[in-house]
Structure 1
Amino acid sequence: MDRVSIVHDNFLARVAARDLPEVKPQGLNADASRALFEHQCLTRALDIVSREMQKAGQGFYTIGSSGHEGMAAVAHALRPDDIAFLHYRDGAFQVARAAQRGQDMCRDMLLSYACAADDPTSGGRHKVLGSRDLFIPPQTSTIASHLPKALGAAYGIGLARRNRPDAAILPSDGIAVASFGDASLNHSTAQGAINATGWTSVQGVPLPLLLICEDNGIGISTKTPAGWVAASLAHRPGLTYFAGDGCDLWDAYRAASAAASFVRTHRKPAVLHLRTVRLYGHAGADVATSYLPRAEVEADEANDPLLHTAAGLIGQGETPDTLLAIYESALARTRAEAADVAQAAPLSGADAVMAAIIPPERTHTQTNGPDADTRAQTFGSDLAQMDTPQPMSRLINWALTDLMLTHPETVIMGEDVGRKGGVYGVTQKLLGRFGPSRVIDTLLDEQSILGLAIGMAHNGFVPMPEIQFLAYLHNAEDQIRGEAATLPFFSNGQWANPMVLRIAGLGYQKGFGGHFHNDNALAVLRDIPALILACPSDGAEAVKMLRECHRLAREENRLCVFVEPIALYSMRDVHPGDGAWMRTYPAPDQRIALGEVGVEGEGDLAIVTFANGRYLAAQAQVPNARLIDLRWLAPLPIDSLLRAVKGCKHILVVDETRRSGGVAEGVMTALFEAGHRQIARYTADDSFIATGRAYADTLPSEAGIRMAAAELISAK
């Protein structure tokens, strides 16, 4: 017999025989206890039926919640408007929370198993726990990558008490909850988020966050050392530790109630260590007895949470026959519902799959911005210099000031953005202008910075996180790809993570930093569906594109990445002493629309480029050339580009990213598909960037552009 049948038969036999664990039911009355048992039985039935659906070719997911049914008691200890980022074994939590709202999750979860188009959570794209009504943003995380955004959501609840955005949805006395497994605890993302939680807490910042570690003692086949979870979590600075038995409904409720009450009352984070078991193995194809002694598997099965709940309910006056009837009824109705769901239309077709990649528009209010006196007071002496040409870094600083003045829900966060004003001074004066609640100096952890932004966006803020250098993004890019960008997709557009992520990047810093501080790799960003990647080349362009990115995030829920070319931050001259690369500050209502390219000059040769490439092309002064600035690198502005090159005999693509995986690959393909044949590309080499005199040796150069243009024009 398979383990599912063994656990099922054990439950029936042991309840009938009253062969049950010793349980003391305290803290929940008989009605509440019985209701939670019904939720546990439905959760168990869904697990059983999910495997039956898979065998029949009607279902596509079998990672269940059996052994973790104590999470129903955790849901009962919380409010249904406490935002919850759930472990994938938390079906019982969602079932119990739905009941708090008068909803029944049976059919909805079966639709998700079937990947049906009517699945209310993801529209059939994936089996995920989640619900807009239940304040459960969906995620598929198995490595605790949702913990950083839970931290951000908790921070956003606290900040909204002082600065509540119009689009805020979380109550001011609410808390944020994140659950994860004992195996995921060891992942660097979890460790970083837990560390960031404590780091924030010890500074007295309000942080109503409850972290729940569901400890079943194993990660697929790798055991968690005995005592490891408690040793790892019990003495973390800034965190208060609670523990409970997740197999015992009443003890789980006791521990969860105490932890939630502490967090809600003190506005400080806590961790709840809930001991559980894992039944059936990891998933449908996993046979636990192939890597665990049978005796250990049977010991966990004997510790079945449903047996514990049955024992407690009998102690509260229920009969075994009543409890067996509840269990059998849940299984029968789930099977009947599954038979009907098997006829539901599946998600089908590329258009339907992709329909939720771009989220719907976001709730926002129109604003005319600050009055003239407020703006003048905020800018101070800077206001008088706005008609004088300035380098890019200063113009971006002014743009950030205007955006924060106009939109009070805008918040900046990152390493050194406050007191220091950023590594390159781009955020100077912002801390003094807007205070530490809107200009947040974070710890040195890019995952936590991005998670902070993602979580705050859930409560109506418009986050503008900063990553100091493009190379620093790579250790945290899953927060963008796996969390922020996928959320609309997995939630069928019900949730989104709008933000404007600012990153100092690209090359050409003279003799500084090597590949850690000069990074020309943008492929990882261009590969993410629906992400908007902007890259300006001069200060005025940067201001107007940054405003458009902010508008896209605030009004259209879009995820934007704004790469600022470090080498152009302070650039003043095209040729020595001419001041030709400085710009005056554009009026506050000026923007460059998404997909709009820049065109300078006329000629038979088009030089298509961006960022430092545009600067080098201006230096090169190639005769009879039309200079086209892409500006938007994802999605590539193909239609605008094709209009801009119309009439050109030759097209040279100058790309400071690498030849393999660089921007030019997409541009060249688009030009070729449009019928252009006199085309060539001049790119960076497939190399990291060196420090010292060789800092630019692998990158396009002014002389190289002239040579590449001449070769293209003279080629047959």
Structure 2
Amino acid sequence: MDRAAIVHDNFLRRVAARDFPEGSAPAGPLSGHQAVALYRVQCLSRALDRQSRAMQKAGQGFYTIGSSGHEGMAAVAAALRSTDPAFLHYRDAAFQIARADQVPGQSPTWDILLSFASSSEDPISGGRHKVLGSKALCIPPQTSTIASHLPKAVGAAYAVAAARRHRPEHADMPEDAIVYCSFGDASANHSTAQGAFNTAQWTSFQSVPLPLLFCCEDNGIGISTKTPKGWIAATFANRPGLKYFSCDGLDLFDTYRVAQQAADYVRSRRKPAFLHVRTVRLYGHAGADMPTTYMPKAEVEAEEANDPLLHSVRLLDQFGAMSPEQALSVYNDTCARVARVAEQAITRPRLQNAKEVMASLIPPARSCAPTNGPTPERRAEVFGGDLKAHSEPQIMSRLINWALTDLMLEHGEIVMMGEDVGRKGGVYGVTQKLQTRFGPDRMIDTLLDEQSILGLAIGMAQNGFTPMPEIQFLAYLHNAEDQLRGEAATLPFFSNGQYTNPMVVRIAGLGYQKGFGGHFHNDNSVAVLRDIPGLILACPSNGADAARMLRECVRLAREEQRLVVFLEPIALYPMRDLHEAGDGGWMQTYPDPSEKIGFGEVGVDGEGNDLAIVTFGNGVYLSHQARTALQADGIKTRIIDMRWLSPLPKAALTQAVTGAKRILIVDETRHHGGVAEALMAHFHETCDVPLARVTAEDSFIATGPAYAATMPSKDSIEAAARSLMEAGT
């Protein structure tokens, strides 16, 4: 027999014989009626685990990571409110079932079985993944096993407190809520988790409200790697700013008592706490995992002898709430009922094609209250002397600053966060004066941790804010990009559009900085962003476009709930001149706040039919320089600014090159994995004209005089254009 069958048979035999493991007597505020209800939850969680394995064996189910051994989490759920947002560990079926008991009209048995069966009727994911989650139960779905949900839990807790000061239109969390976040002992060691703990402590240390309850479910092992005995207690018991609570997860009464104390502390103090729940893991990691292949059989059997359901039956008997015979009857009846319901669940429809799978990649639009903007008096007060300069040509960084000012005036739910964005105004001064204009609640100076910056934004987005996090340099994104790929972008997909992460992530990036940085401050790789389904990647080439595009990006986030990355070319921030010093050829005046560049709208400069140069960012600037020499040679050239790098604005690009006899792509990203690859494929499929490309080398970027040696230049663009002209004659 497999271990699940052994645990099941042991339970039946030992309850019948009243052979229970030793433990403390029932004590605490849990009533007999509550204890019986929680035991029923535990039985249902166990029966569902057993059924998931039977379904997989029959080819009718597709997920077997279970919650057996962690059934005590039902008592934690009972200690919280059903309106407390809960970011759950994947072994928390008992928590979700217990919470369902708190909300009328729920059917957790049916819902979880539909999820096992990957049915399109699964109410949380629509058949896309087996996830715990429920909109009605305030449980956003989590798919991670490595604690990547912890940073956004920190952000959500911050958002609860922030909404008490400035409540956004779409706020979704009660003002007195606490945020709950659970994970395993192995995941607690992950750098993402450690960053979240540190951020919570850093925030609490400064007396900033953060109503967050971390919960570590410590079963002592991560797949096959043991957690050193006593490690969790040793490393978390005395952390500054993080109150430590500990309980025996095998004891419903102890777990409920301590969890209630922890929840009361967090709710009353508005400070984070760490709840350490000692559990066991039954059956191994998942269905295919045999724990006896890496653990001594005696050790496996010792864990099984500590079955939390056996402890619960003992406790209920001692409390006088339910006899062992009654408890055994509940267990058997529950197993039989789950089997009957499963027979129906496996008949329900499943996703059939790519269209159905992808239906929730793009979240649904939402209605937003109309905003007419600030009064002229308020706008004049905020801008001060800058208002007079709006009619004068300016550099890109200043126009972005003014666009951000107008956007924050118009939409009170916009919050910006990042390292140095507040007092300093950003490394390049792009956010100067914004903290003075709007206060530290809306211009948040964060600690140096990109995962925490993005997690803060994700959590705030889930409470109705429109976050605009700043990543100081594109190169700094790469240690945190899973917060976009694995969390922000996947949430609407795995929740069937019920949960979303609308935001605009501002990132300073690309190359061509003359005196600063090397590849840590100059990074021309955007492949990781273009590869994320549902993410919009925008990149302006001049200040006026930047202002207009930024307004559209905020509209996309606010109204269409999209995840947007706004990539700002650092080298163009201060750019004034185009051809020679003092010509002012790359400065523009500030566009009226009503002006936007629509999503997917490309820019076309010129009507020449000999050559169409398709480019973006710094490539637009360099192509304008090159065009002067090309046109002097009689090569009639148009320049097409893509603006939107992902998804590619294919229809607009095809229209923009119509009539051109040749197409030259200028791409400052790398030759392999760069934007040009997709453009070449698109134009090859849609246009019957000669194509060529100028790209950066497959290299990192150097500091010093060779800062631009590996990337396109005015001269290389001219040479490629002339070569293409000769080849096409």
Q: Where on the TM-score scale, by shorter chain, does this alignment land: which range? A: over 0.9
Aligned to 1:116: 119
In the aligned structure 1, how far is the partner of 2:375 from the partner of 2:515?
A: 45
Q: How does 1:374-523 map to 2 (within 5 A)?
A: 374-523=378-527
Q: Does 1:690 align with 2:690?
A: no
Secondary structure of 2:663's counterpart equals strand
In the aligned structure 1, how far is the partner of 2:578 from the partner of 2:239?
A: 54
The structure 2 residue matched to 1:163, chosen from 166, 187, 194, is: 166
Query: How far off is 1:10 after superposition?
Result: 1.1
Q: Does 1:153 align with 2:165?
A: no
In the aligned structure 1, how far is the partner of 2:334 from the partner of 2:529?
A: 46
Aligned to 2:309: 306
Q: TM-score, normalised to structure 2's length?
A: 0.98
Aligned to 1:560: 564
Q: Does 1:714 align with 2:717?
A: no
In the aligned structure 2, how far is the partner of 1:22 from the partner of 1:246?
A: 12
Aligned to 1:668: 680
In the aligned structure 2, how far is the partner of 1:653 from the partner of 1:472?
A: 27
Query: How far off is 1:675 after superposition?
Result: 2.9
Query: Is the Cα–Cα contact under 8 Å of residues 115 and 127 in structure 2 kept in the other structure?
Result: yes
Unaligned segments of structure 2, at least 5 residues: none
Aligned to 1:524: 528
The structure 2 residue matched to 1:225, chosen from 228, 231, 249, is: 228
Aligned to 1:98: 100
In the aligned structure 2, how far is the partner of 1:134 from the partner of 1:245?
A: 25
In the aligned structure 1, how far is the partner of 2:491 from the partner of 2:367?
A: 17
Aligned to 1:207: 210
Task: Percent identity, please.
Answer: 67
Query: Is the Cα–Cα contact under 8 Å of residues 85 and 150 in structure 1 kept in the other structure?
Result: yes
Query: How far off is 1:362 after superposition?
Result: 2.7
Aligned to 1:599: 604
Query: Is the Cα–Cα contact under 8 Å of residues 167 and 363 in structure 1 kept in the other structure?
Result: no
Deviations 1:658-712 (A, max 9, x none): 0101011111111000033311110001100001100000000001111110000
In the aligned structure 1, how far is the partner of 2:318 from the partner of 2:103?
A: 29
Query: How far off is 1:235 after superposition?
Result: 1.3
Moved more, 102-111 or 448-457: 102-111
Aligned to 2:17: 17
Aligned to 2:74: 72
Secondary structure of 1:353's counterpart equals helix
Q: TM-score, normalised to structure 1's length?
A: 0.99
In the aligned structure 1, how far is the partner of 2:375 from the partner of 2:296?
A: 73
Amino acid at match of 2:603: G
Q: Does 1:274 align with 2:277?
A: yes
Amino acid at match of 2:654: L
Secondary structure of 1:614's counterpart equals helix
Amino acid at match of 2:386: D
Query: Is the Cα–Cα contact under 8 Å of residues 79 and 259 in structure 2 kept in the other structure?
Result: yes
In the aligned structure 1, how far is the partner of 2:41 from the partner of 2:315?
A: 15
Secondary structure of 1:399's counterpart equals helix
In the aligned structure 1, how far is the partner of 2:560 from the partner of 2:200?
A: 30
Deviations 1:626-663 (A, max 9, x none): 01000000001110011111000011000000010101
Amino acid at match of 1:334: V
Deviations 1:271-319 (A, max 9, x none): 0000000000000000001100111111111111101111111112221
In the aligned structure 1, how far is the partner of 2:366 from the partner of 2:312?
A: 44
- Aligned CA-pair RMSD: 0.7
Aligned to 1:611: 617
Query: Is the Cα–Cα contact under 8 Å of residues 181 and 216 in structure 1 kept in the other structure?
Result: yes
Secondary structure of 1:692's counterpart equals coil
In the aligned structure 2, how far is the partner of 1:672 from the partner of 1:6?
A: 61
The structure 1 residue matched to 2:249, chosen from 246, 250, 275, is: 246
Aligned to 2:588: 583
Query: Is the Cα–Cα contact under 8 Å of residues 23 and 308 in structure 1 kept in the other structure?
Result: no
Unaligned segments of structure 1, at least 5 residues: none
Q: Does 1:546 align with 2:550?
A: yes
Aligned to 1:641: 653
In the aligned structure 2, how far is the partner of 1:436 from the partner of 1:343?
A: 54
Amino acid at match of 1:307: L
In the aligned structure 2, how far is the partner of 1:364 from the partner of 1:70?
A: 42
Query: Is the Cα–Cα contact under 8 Å of residues 511 and 694 in structure 1 kept in the other structure?
Result: no
Query: Is the Cα–Cα contact under 8 Å of residues 314 and 324 in structure 2 kept in the other structure?
Result: no
Deviations 1:186-213 (A, max 9, x none): 1000000000100011011100000000
The structure 2 residue matched to 1:327, chosen from 319, 322, 331, is: 331
Query: How far off is 1:363 after superposition?
Result: 4.2
Secondary structure of 1:386's counterpart equals helix
In the aligned structure 2, how far is the partner of 1:599 from the partner of 1:416?
A: 36
In the aligned structure 1, how far is the partner of 2:517 from the partner of 2:676?
A: 25
Aligned to 2:370: 366
In the aligned structure 2, how far is the partner of 1:321 from the partner of 1:242?
A: 34
Query: How far off is 1:33 after superposition?
Result: 0.4
Secondary structure of 2:131's counterpart equals coil
Deviations 1:116-162 (A, max 9, x none): 01010100000000011110000101000000000000000000000
In the aligned structure 2, how far is the partner of 1:527 from the partner of 1:22?
A: 52
Q: Which runs of 4+ in 1 moved over 3 A?
A: none
Secondary structure of 2:333's counterpart equals helix
Q: How does 1:255-274 map to 2 (within 5 A)?
A: 255-274=258-277
Query: How far off is 1:17 after superposition?
Result: 1.4
Amino acid at match of 1:154: A
Secondary structure of 2:364's counterpart equals coil
The structure 2 residue matched to 1:315, chosen from 314, 318, 337, is: 318
Amino acid at match of 1:9: D
Query: How far off is 1:74 after superposition?
Result: 0.4
Aligned to 1:343: 347
Moved more, 229-238 or 609-618: 229-238
In the aligned structure 1, how far is the partner of 2:149 from the partner of 2:55?
A: 29
Aligned to 2:670: 658
In the aligned structure 2, how far is the partner of 1:598 from the partner of 1:677?
A: 21
Number of equivalenced pairs: 716
Secondary structure of 1:475's counterpart equals coil
Q: Does 1:135 align with 2:147?
A: no
Aligned to 1:34: 36
Aligned to 2:181: 178
Query: Is the Cα–Cα contact under 8 Å of residues 30 and 257 in structure 2 kept in the other structure?
Result: no
